[in-house]
Structure 1
Amino acid sequence: MGYSQAQKAESRQRVLENASRQIRENGIEALGVAECMRSAGLTHGAFYGHFSSRDALILEALEHAVSQSEKRMASIASGAAKRGETPLQAIAEAFLNERHVKNPGNGCALCALAGEARHANPDVREQLTDYVRKLASRIAQAISSDSKDAGLGIVATIVGAITLARGVDDDKLAKSILSESLALVMSRDSSPVG
Protein backbone atom coordinates (compact mmCIF):
# COMPACT_ATOMS: atom_id res chain seq x y z
CA MET A 1 0.00 0.00 0.00
CA GLY A 2 1.41 3.40 -1.00
CA TYR A 3 1.38 6.63 0.90
CA SER A 4 -1.14 9.34 0.15
CA GLN A 5 0.08 12.78 -0.85
CA ALA A 6 -1.04 14.07 2.55
CA GLN A 7 1.00 11.41 4.35
CA LYS A 8 4.02 12.16 2.17
CA ALA A 9 3.66 15.91 2.91
CA GLU A 10 3.36 15.20 6.64
CA SER A 11 6.47 13.00 6.55
CA ARG A 12 8.39 15.65 4.62
CA GLN A 13 7.34 18.27 7.19
CA ARG A 14 8.62 16.06 10.04
CA VAL A 15 11.95 15.62 8.25
CA LEU A 16 12.27 19.40 7.72
CA GLU A 17 11.43 20.11 11.35
CA ASN A 18 14.00 17.59 12.55
CA ALA A 19 16.67 18.77 10.12
CA SER A 20 16.11 22.45 10.93
CA ARG A 21 16.37 21.70 14.65
CA GLN A 22 19.48 19.55 14.15
CA ILE A 23 21.36 22.12 12.08
CA ARG A 24 20.59 24.83 14.65
CA GLU A 25 21.71 22.57 17.50
CA ASN A 26 24.80 20.97 15.94
CA GLY A 27 25.65 22.90 12.79
CA ILE A 28 25.21 22.28 9.11
CA GLU A 29 28.07 19.84 8.68
CA ALA A 30 26.85 17.67 11.57
CA LEU A 31 23.52 16.92 9.89
CA GLY A 32 23.37 13.22 9.15
CA VAL A 33 20.69 12.01 6.77
CA ALA A 34 20.22 8.65 8.51
CA GLU A 35 19.79 10.21 11.96
CA CYS A 36 17.50 12.92 10.62
CA MET A 37 15.25 10.37 8.92
CA ARG A 38 15.24 8.14 12.00
CA SER A 39 14.27 11.12 14.19
CA ALA A 40 11.37 11.78 11.82
CA GLY A 41 10.23 8.17 12.16
CA LEU A 42 11.30 7.24 8.63
CA THR A 43 13.87 4.94 7.09
CA HIS A 44 17.06 6.17 5.51
CA GLY A 45 15.85 4.66 2.25
CA ALA A 46 12.84 6.99 2.19
CA PHE A 47 15.10 10.05 2.01
CA TYR A 48 15.29 10.27 -1.79
CA GLY A 49 11.51 10.14 -2.02
CA HIS A 50 11.55 13.57 -0.38
CA PHE A 51 14.85 15.25 -1.31
CA SER A 52 17.27 15.06 -4.20
CA SER A 53 20.37 15.38 -1.99
CA ARG A 54 21.65 16.21 1.48
CA ASP A 55 22.38 19.77 0.25
CA ALA A 56 18.75 20.11 -0.89
CA LEU A 57 17.60 19.00 2.57
CA ILE A 58 19.93 21.51 4.23
CA LEU A 59 18.62 24.38 2.13
CA GLU A 60 15.00 23.49 2.76
CA ALA A 61 15.64 22.94 6.47
CA LEU A 62 17.31 26.32 6.71
CA GLU A 63 14.44 27.92 4.80
CA HIS A 64 12.04 26.25 7.25
CA ALA A 65 14.00 27.52 10.26
CA VAL A 66 14.15 31.07 8.87
CA SER A 67 10.44 30.99 8.06
CA GLN A 68 9.68 29.91 11.64
CA SER A 69 11.83 32.75 12.98
CA GLU A 70 10.20 35.31 10.70
CA LYS A 71 6.69 34.25 11.76
CA ARG A 72 7.69 34.29 15.43
CA MET A 73 9.18 37.79 15.13
CA ALA A 74 6.12 39.12 13.29
CA SER A 75 3.85 37.73 15.99
CA ILE A 76 6.02 39.05 18.80
CA ALA A 77 6.26 42.53 17.28
CA SER A 78 2.56 42.77 16.48
CA GLY A 79 1.54 41.65 19.97
CA ALA A 80 3.92 43.99 21.81
CA ALA A 81 1.37 46.70 22.56
CA LYS A 82 -0.98 44.16 24.19
CA ARG A 83 1.84 43.24 26.56
CA GLY A 84 2.75 46.85 27.28
CA GLU A 85 6.01 46.66 25.33
CA THR A 86 7.45 48.48 22.35
CA PRO A 87 8.04 46.31 19.26
CA LEU A 88 11.82 46.58 19.72
CA GLN A 89 11.58 45.59 23.37
CA ALA A 90 9.47 42.55 22.47
CA ILE A 91 11.88 41.46 19.74
CA ALA A 92 15.03 42.09 21.79
CA GLU A 93 13.68 40.27 24.83
CA ALA A 94 12.61 37.32 22.67
CA PHE A 95 16.19 36.97 21.44
CA LEU A 96 18.29 38.02 24.41
CA ASN A 97 17.28 35.54 27.08
CA GLU A 98 18.66 32.40 28.69
CA ARG A 99 15.98 30.16 27.18
CA HIS A 100 17.13 31.14 23.67
CA VAL A 101 20.77 30.60 24.60
CA LYS A 102 20.09 27.14 26.01
CA ASN A 103 17.74 26.00 23.26
CA PRO A 104 19.35 26.72 19.89
CA GLY A 105 17.34 23.97 18.17
CA ASN A 106 14.17 26.02 18.48
CA GLY A 107 15.81 29.42 18.24
CA CYS A 108 16.96 31.77 15.54
CA ALA A 109 18.83 30.13 12.66
CA LEU A 110 21.01 33.20 12.24
CA CYS A 111 22.14 33.10 15.87
CA ALA A 112 22.87 29.40 15.58
CA LEU A 113 24.64 29.40 12.22
CA ALA A 114 26.28 32.80 11.76
CA GLY A 115 29.67 31.57 12.94
CA GLU A 116 29.85 28.72 10.48
CA ALA A 117 28.16 30.47 7.55
CA ARG A 118 31.43 31.69 6.11
CA HIS A 119 32.35 28.05 5.50
CA ALA A 120 28.94 27.12 4.08
CA ASN A 121 28.00 26.81 0.44
CA PRO A 122 26.86 29.94 -1.43
CA ASP A 123 23.17 28.96 -1.28
CA VAL A 124 23.24 28.75 2.52
CA ARG A 125 25.04 32.08 2.71
CA GLU A 126 22.48 33.62 0.38
CA GLN A 127 19.60 32.45 2.58
CA LEU A 128 21.25 33.79 5.71
CA THR A 129 22.06 37.07 3.96
CA ASP A 130 18.42 37.46 2.97
CA TYR A 131 17.36 36.76 6.54
CA VAL A 132 19.82 39.36 7.90
CA ARG A 133 18.23 41.92 5.59
CA LYS A 134 14.68 40.96 6.57
CA LEU A 135 15.46 40.98 10.28
CA ALA A 136 17.26 44.33 10.00
CA SER A 137 14.25 45.72 8.14
CA ARG A 138 11.84 44.45 10.81
CA ILE A 139 13.97 45.99 13.53
CA ALA A 140 14.25 49.26 11.60
CA GLN A 141 10.44 49.32 11.50
CA ALA A 142 10.35 48.64 15.23
CA ILE A 143 12.51 51.70 15.89
CA SER A 144 10.57 53.75 13.32
CA SER A 145 13.50 54.20 10.98
CA ASP A 146 13.25 54.46 7.20
CA SER A 147 16.69 52.89 6.80
CA LYS A 148 17.16 49.11 6.92
CA ASP A 149 20.75 49.86 7.92
CA ALA A 150 19.49 51.26 11.22
CA GLY A 151 18.55 47.73 12.22
CA LEU A 152 21.85 46.13 11.18
CA GLY A 153 23.72 47.21 14.29
CA ILE A 154 20.98 45.80 16.47
CA VAL A 155 20.98 42.52 14.53
CA ALA A 156 24.75 42.32 14.93
CA THR A 157 24.46 43.03 18.65
CA ILE A 158 21.80 40.36 19.14
CA VAL A 159 23.55 37.67 17.08
CA GLY A 160 26.90 38.45 18.66
CA ALA A 161 25.44 38.37 22.15
CA ILE A 162 23.77 35.00 21.64
CA THR A 163 26.90 33.58 20.02
CA LEU A 164 29.08 34.74 22.91
CA ALA A 165 26.63 33.68 25.61
CA ARG A 166 26.55 30.20 24.08
CA GLY A 167 30.33 30.10 23.77
CA VAL A 168 31.39 30.95 27.31
CA ASP A 169 31.53 28.44 30.15
CA ASP A 170 30.56 30.94 32.85
CA ASP A 171 26.80 31.35 33.47
CA LYS A 172 27.26 34.67 35.25
CA LEU A 173 29.23 36.05 32.30
CA ALA A 174 26.63 34.71 29.85
CA LYS A 175 23.85 36.46 31.80
CA SER A 176 25.87 39.69 31.80
CA ILE A 177 26.37 39.46 28.06
CA LEU A 178 22.62 39.11 27.59
CA SER A 179 21.61 41.87 29.99
CA GLU A 180 24.18 44.39 28.76
CA SER A 181 23.33 43.65 25.13
CA LEU A 182 19.64 44.10 25.90
CA ALA A 183 20.40 47.44 27.56
CA LEU A 184 22.47 48.50 24.53
CA VAL A 185 19.70 47.53 22.10
CA MET A 186 17.05 49.26 24.18
CA SER A 187 19.07 52.48 24.19
CA ARG A 188 18.01 52.74 20.51
CA ASP A 189 14.30 52.48 21.35
CA SER A 190 12.43 55.76 21.20
CA SER A 191 9.01 54.28 20.49
CA PRO A 192 6.20 54.94 22.92
CA VAL A 193 4.94 51.84 24.77
CA GLY A 194 1.59 50.50 23.56
Structure 2
Amino acid sequence: MSREQAAESRRAIIAAATQLFRERGVDAVGLSELMKHAGFTQGGFYNHFESKEALVAEVLASAIAEGNTKFVNIARAPVDESTTALRRYIDWYLSRAHRDDIDHGCPVARFAGDAPRLGSGAQSYFAGGLDDQITLLAGLLAESGSPAMIGERKTLRERAISLHCQMLGALVLSRSVAQVAPVHSNGILENVQQDILASIGGRSNQAPGPRK
Protein backbone atom coordinates (compact mmCIF):
# COMPACT_ATOMS: atom_id res chain seq x y z
CA MET A 1 0.00 0.00 0.00
CA SER A 2 1.40 3.38 -1.03
CA ARG A 3 1.55 6.35 1.33
CA GLU A 4 -1.22 8.00 -0.64
CA GLN A 5 -3.44 4.92 -0.34
CA ALA A 6 -2.69 4.63 3.37
CA ALA A 7 -3.58 8.29 3.91
CA GLU A 8 -6.80 7.84 1.95
CA SER A 9 -7.74 4.77 4.00
CA ARG A 10 -7.01 6.64 7.22
CA ARG A 11 -9.25 9.52 6.15
CA ALA A 12 -12.02 7.05 5.28
CA ILE A 13 -11.80 5.47 8.73
CA ILE A 14 -11.93 8.86 10.44
CA ALA A 15 -14.92 9.89 8.30
CA ALA A 16 -16.78 6.67 9.10
CA ALA A 17 -15.99 7.01 12.81
CA THR A 18 -17.13 10.62 12.86
CA GLN A 19 -20.48 9.71 11.31
CA LEU A 20 -21.12 6.73 13.58
CA PHE A 21 -19.93 8.44 16.76
CA ARG A 22 -22.19 11.42 16.07
CA GLU A 23 -25.17 9.19 15.30
CA ARG A 24 -24.89 6.77 18.21
CA GLY A 25 -22.15 7.84 20.60
CA VAL A 26 -18.58 6.62 21.00
CA ASP A 27 -19.25 3.67 23.31
CA ALA A 28 -21.98 2.21 21.09
CA VAL A 29 -19.69 1.74 18.08
CA GLY A 30 -17.34 -1.25 17.92
CA LEU A 31 -14.27 -1.56 15.72
CA SER A 32 -15.75 -4.34 13.57
CA GLU A 33 -18.80 -2.27 12.66
CA LEU A 34 -16.72 0.86 12.21
CA MET A 35 -14.28 -0.75 9.79
CA LYS A 36 -17.08 -2.42 7.84
CA HIS A 37 -18.75 0.98 7.50
CA ALA A 38 -15.46 2.40 6.21
CA GLY A 39 -15.13 -0.45 3.70
CA PHE A 40 -12.30 -2.39 5.37
CA THR A 41 -11.77 -5.45 7.55
CA GLN A 42 -11.25 -5.05 11.29
CA GLY A 43 -7.69 -6.38 11.04
CA GLY A 44 -6.63 -3.35 9.07
CA PHE A 45 -7.52 -0.93 11.84
CA TYR A 46 -4.21 -1.24 13.67
CA ASN A 47 -2.27 -0.37 10.54
CA HIS A 48 -3.58 3.16 11.03
CA PHE A 49 -4.30 3.63 14.75
CA GLU A 50 -2.80 2.26 17.95
CA SER A 51 -6.20 1.96 19.60
CA LYS A 52 -9.82 3.07 19.44
CA GLU A 53 -8.89 5.75 21.98
CA ALA A 54 -6.35 7.18 19.53
CA LEU A 55 -8.97 7.23 16.78
CA VAL A 56 -11.50 8.96 19.04
CA ALA A 57 -8.93 11.66 19.81
CA GLU A 58 -8.39 12.31 16.09
CA VAL A 59 -12.13 12.40 15.46
CA LEU A 60 -12.61 14.96 18.24
CA ALA A 61 -9.70 17.08 17.01
CA SER A 62 -11.09 17.15 13.48
CA ALA A 63 -14.71 17.73 14.50
CA ILE A 64 -13.79 20.54 16.91
CA ALA A 65 -11.61 22.32 14.35
CA GLU A 66 -14.25 22.08 11.61
CA GLY A 67 -17.05 23.08 13.95
CA ASN A 68 -15.33 26.17 15.28
CA THR A 69 -14.37 27.30 11.78
CA LYS A 70 -18.03 26.94 10.81
CA PHE A 71 -19.13 29.01 13.81
CA VAL A 72 -16.78 31.85 12.90
CA ASN A 73 -18.00 31.82 9.29
CA ILE A 74 -21.64 31.95 10.40
CA ALA A 75 -21.00 34.85 12.75
CA ARG A 76 -18.99 36.75 10.13
CA ALA A 77 -21.33 36.09 7.21
CA PRO A 78 -21.92 39.28 5.16
CA VAL A 79 -25.66 39.77 5.64
CA ASP A 80 -27.94 42.54 6.86
CA GLU A 81 -25.75 45.12 8.59
CA SER A 82 -28.50 45.73 11.14
CA THR A 83 -27.96 42.22 12.49
CA THR A 84 -24.95 41.77 14.76
CA ALA A 85 -22.60 38.82 14.52
CA LEU A 86 -23.73 37.82 18.01
CA ARG A 87 -27.37 37.75 16.90
CA ARG A 88 -26.56 35.65 13.83
CA TYR A 89 -24.66 33.18 15.98
CA ILE A 90 -27.47 32.86 18.54
CA ASP A 91 -30.18 32.56 15.87
CA TRP A 92 -28.29 29.79 14.09
CA TYR A 93 -27.25 27.88 17.21
CA LEU A 94 -30.82 27.77 18.54
CA SER A 95 -32.45 27.06 15.19
CA ARG A 96 -34.43 23.94 14.34
CA ALA A 97 -32.10 23.38 11.39
CA HIS A 98 -29.09 23.14 13.72
CA ARG A 99 -31.00 20.90 16.11
CA ASP A 100 -31.84 18.50 13.29
CA ASP A 101 -28.34 18.49 11.74
CA ILE A 102 -26.60 16.28 14.29
CA ASP A 103 -24.04 15.07 11.73
CA HIS A 104 -22.69 18.57 11.10
CA GLY A 105 -23.75 20.56 14.16
CA CYS A 106 -21.88 21.71 17.25
CA PRO A 107 -19.39 18.97 18.22
CA VAL A 108 -19.28 20.12 21.84
CA ALA A 109 -23.04 19.64 22.17
CA ARG A 110 -22.87 16.24 20.48
CA PHE A 111 -19.95 14.81 22.43
CA ALA A 112 -20.63 16.40 25.83
CA GLY A 113 -22.24 13.19 27.09
CA ASP A 114 -19.32 11.07 25.86
CA ALA A 115 -16.55 13.34 27.13
CA PRO A 116 -16.30 12.06 30.74
CA ARG A 117 -15.62 8.53 29.46
CA LEU A 118 -13.09 9.44 26.77
CA GLY A 119 -9.32 9.17 27.01
CA SER A 120 -7.20 12.11 28.09
CA GLY A 121 -6.26 13.03 24.53
CA ALA A 122 -9.86 13.28 23.36
CA GLN A 123 -10.85 15.11 26.53
CA SER A 124 -8.11 17.67 25.93
CA TYR A 125 -9.40 18.35 22.42
CA PHE A 126 -12.94 18.62 23.76
CA ALA A 127 -11.89 21.06 26.50
CA GLY A 128 -9.93 23.12 24.01
CA GLY A 129 -12.90 23.28 21.66
CA LEU A 130 -15.22 24.37 24.44
CA ASP A 131 -12.75 27.08 25.46
CA ASP A 132 -12.51 28.29 21.85
CA GLN A 133 -16.30 28.58 21.62
CA ILE A 134 -16.47 30.57 24.85
CA THR A 135 -13.69 32.86 23.62
CA LEU A 136 -15.55 33.41 20.34
CA LEU A 137 -18.76 34.21 22.18
CA ALA A 138 -16.97 36.64 24.50
CA GLY A 139 -15.64 38.45 21.45
CA LEU A 140 -19.09 38.64 19.88
CA LEU A 141 -20.50 40.01 23.13
CA ALA A 142 -17.82 42.69 23.22
CA GLU A 143 -18.59 43.73 19.64
CA SER A 144 -22.35 43.74 20.07
CA GLY A 145 -22.64 46.80 22.29
CA SER A 146 -25.47 45.02 24.10
CA PRO A 147 -27.37 47.25 26.55
CA ALA A 148 -27.16 44.41 29.05
CA MET A 149 -23.41 44.89 29.11
CA ILE A 150 -23.74 48.33 30.71
CA GLY A 151 -23.12 48.05 34.43
CA GLU A 152 -22.63 44.29 34.11
CA ARG A 153 -20.54 43.00 36.98
CA LYS A 154 -19.51 39.81 35.22
CA THR A 155 -16.47 39.78 32.97
CA LEU A 156 -17.05 39.13 29.28
CA ARG A 157 -15.76 35.59 29.68
CA GLU A 158 -18.04 34.88 32.63
CA ARG A 159 -20.99 36.20 30.67
CA ALA A 160 -19.99 34.12 27.65
CA ILE A 161 -19.80 30.98 29.79
CA SER A 162 -23.33 31.55 31.11
CA LEU A 163 -24.69 32.30 27.65
CA HIS A 164 -23.01 29.31 26.03
CA CYS A 165 -24.29 26.96 28.73
CA GLN A 166 -27.84 28.23 28.14
CA MET A 167 -27.55 27.68 24.39
CA LEU A 168 -25.82 24.31 24.56
CA GLY A 169 -28.20 22.98 27.20
CA ALA A 170 -31.21 24.08 25.18
CA LEU A 171 -29.84 22.41 22.05
CA VAL A 172 -29.12 19.11 23.80
CA LEU A 173 -32.50 18.97 25.55
CA SER A 174 -34.35 19.99 22.39
CA ARG A 175 -32.68 17.15 20.49
CA SER A 176 -33.46 14.66 23.24
CA VAL A 177 -37.23 15.00 22.73
CA ALA A 178 -37.40 16.06 19.07
CA GLN A 179 -38.66 12.69 17.83
CA VAL A 180 -41.33 12.00 20.45
CA ALA A 181 -42.35 15.53 21.47
CA PRO A 182 -41.57 17.93 18.59
CA VAL A 183 -43.74 20.74 19.96
CA HIS A 184 -41.93 20.58 23.29
CA SER A 185 -38.60 20.43 21.45
CA ASN A 186 -39.42 23.56 19.45
CA GLY A 187 -40.59 25.30 22.60
CA ILE A 188 -37.27 24.71 24.34
CA LEU A 189 -35.39 26.42 21.53
CA GLU A 190 -37.85 29.29 21.21
CA ASN A 191 -38.09 30.12 24.90
CA VAL A 192 -34.36 30.03 25.54
CA GLN A 193 -33.71 32.08 22.40
CA GLN A 194 -36.26 34.68 23.48
CA ASP A 195 -34.79 34.91 26.98
CA ILE A 196 -31.25 35.30 25.66
CA LEU A 197 -32.21 37.94 23.10
CA ALA A 198 -34.16 39.85 25.73
CA SER A 199 -31.07 39.87 27.93
CA ILE A 200 -28.95 41.39 25.16
CA GLY A 201 -31.58 43.76 23.83
CA GLY A 202 -32.74 41.76 20.81
CA ARG A 203 -35.95 40.09 19.63
CA SER A 204 -36.47 36.59 18.30
CA ASN A 205 -37.00 36.02 14.57
CA GLN A 206 -37.90 32.36 15.05
CA ALA A 207 -41.49 31.61 14.18
CA PRO A 208 -43.33 29.96 17.08
CA GLY A 209 -44.23 26.34 16.59
CA PRO A 210 -47.76 24.93 16.77
CA ARG A 211 -49.27 24.87 20.23
CA LYS A 212 -51.05 21.89 21.78
What interval of TM-score do these two structures reach, taking the shorter chain for normalisation?
A: 0.7 to 0.9
Q: Given residue 31 of structure 2, which amino acid in structure 1 is its aligned partner?
A: V
1:8 maps to 2:6: yes
Deviation per CA, 1:86-136, whole angstroms, max 9, x where unpaired? 211222222212232223222212111213323333333332221111101
- What is the CA-CA distance between 1:183 and the residue it aligns to? 1.9
Identity among equivalent pairs (%): 25
What RMSD, in angstroms, separates the aligned Cα atoms of the two structures? 2.1
Distance 1:184 1:49 in 2: 51
Q: 1:105 to 1:32 in 2, by over 3 A?
A: farther
Is 2:91 aligned against 1:82?
Answer: no
The aligned amino acid for 1:184 is: D
Q: Counterparts of 1:14-25 in structure 2 under 5 Å?
A: 14-25=12-23
Deviations 1:131-163 (A, max 9, x none): 111101101111117732221112101110111
Structure 1: where are the runs of 5+ without partners?
Answer: none
Aligned residues of 1:137 and 1:151 also touching (Cα < 8 A) = yes
3-state SS of paired residue (1:11): helix
Amino acid at match of 2:190: S
Q: 2:169 aligns with which of 160, 164, 181?
A: 160
* Kept in 2: contact 1:25–1:104 (CA 8 A): yes
Paired with 2:142 and 2:201, the residues of 1 have a C-alpha distance of: 8
Q: TM (normalized to structure 2)?
A: 0.79
Is residue 176 from structure 1 mapped to residue 174 from structure 2 by the alignment?
A: no
Q: What secondary structure, in the 3-state scheme, does the structure 2 residue paired with 1:104 have?
A: coil
Distance 1:122 1:163 in 2: 23
Contact in 1 for aligned 2:134/2:157 (Cα 8 Å): yes
Moved over 6 A (4+): none
Q: Which moved more, 1:144-153 or 1:22-31?
A: 144-153
Unaligned runs of 5+ in 2: 144-154, 203-212
Write the distance in 2 (CA, Å) between the matches of 1:111 and 1:173.
19
Aligned to 2:42: 44
Q: Counterpart of 2:114 in 1: which secondary structure?
A: helix
Aligned length: 188
The structure with the largest alpha-carbon Rg is 2
Quick check: which one's helix share is greater?
1
